[in-house]
Chain A
Amino acid sequence: MVDQKKIRRFLKPAIFILSLCPLLFLGWDAYSGSLSANPISDITHTTGDWTLRFLLITLAVSPIRRITGWSSIIDYRRMIGLFAFFYGFLHFMTYLWLDQFFQWGDILQDIGKRRFILAGLTAFILLIPLAVTSTKRMVRWLGGKRWQALHRLIYASAIAGVIHYFWLVKADLHRPIRYAVILGLLLGIRMWFAYRKRRSRKKIMIGRVVTESD
């Protein structure tokens, strides 16, 4: 137990700093002028990429836990998930500010007309209740079951996020496909676990019926 605490004391800040690195590098590149000729587009793409990556990392936590048995990895999931929200927020702000300059009329038109914007917006909005209910107090207030049910929204958000990526690229689908495959694996593994759980439950039930009739 003491060991676990020690590990956490080290690992938590380490993951925090690591998770900030994409932003720090982006900031440094912007400051030192090593972004491309279109820095605003670089910022948009970098923040968007990292939102998706953090969503996928968040979704990888519980399968890793199931497979490796490293149960305390769950302690880091909230922070990683909040980083997904953080980069999503930056991505969203980049759009609102640097792309649209808060021209609300244009933004509304954009959302109505362009499905990739709508998909991205959906992905982000779905993350808001998850970020809001991420505190311990909120978990307690909601109760574990309801909290868990609510946080399944992350699946919808990640799917919307990958669709957003698919719909925005011009011709080269390699990268969105890569994200879709990883997301498919992460969701598929959950379905497999759920299936096995149900089957074993059924077996227990059948077993019980058999013993009762004995």
Chain B
Amino acid sequence: MRKINVALVEDDARLRKAVERGLAGADTCRLVGMFATAADAIRDIPALAPDVILMDVNLPDRSGVECVAELAPQLPGTQILMLTVYQDPDTAFQAIAAGAHGYLIKPVMPKRLIEAIREVREGGVPMSRAIARQVIEAFRTMHERPATTAAAAAAPNRPEAPPVDPLTPRERQVLELLVEGYSYKETAAQLGISIGTVGTYVERIYEKLHVSCRREMVAWSKGR
């Protein structure tokens, strides 16, 4: 099997070194590039087209979240894992809304790092409970606002349509179980489906989130 190509964006030289050493022994992945600034990453990573990008949240020139927003649309086949410095659920969520696929809280031991890279590559999209909580919240606020303002502007005389939930009932069930603290395994057992199917639902939820976030941003920029 082909090794997974990994790029690392991290400004601290010690941590670059540590990750390099950690991944050196792995037989499932290899490091194809390391970058210390967002500018370097945005310039050079698209040409590398790695399978997975490990992205530090705090970079000296621009934030890792902005970096994700730049890179994700150019690299549809690449998964991005954020390395967050402090446990900051908001930043992690912003990164995910911008197109990242997951996040790891430092310090991450090499074993866990290699595992996470393999998981995200195999489509096992991770969604932590903390993120699930924010995803529900994001859908709630996004769909309450545009549904009232946009619809009212388009058809001022028509009675307002109730806001449409972008999630299917099944997707919502999965999300709610995660928020309540169920693991993928427990969620699968609860709903009588396989763990792989839970992953598929989560992936769809992420896609809808990205679409909604992008639409939200467009609506916001037009509204200005």
| Interaction A to B | no
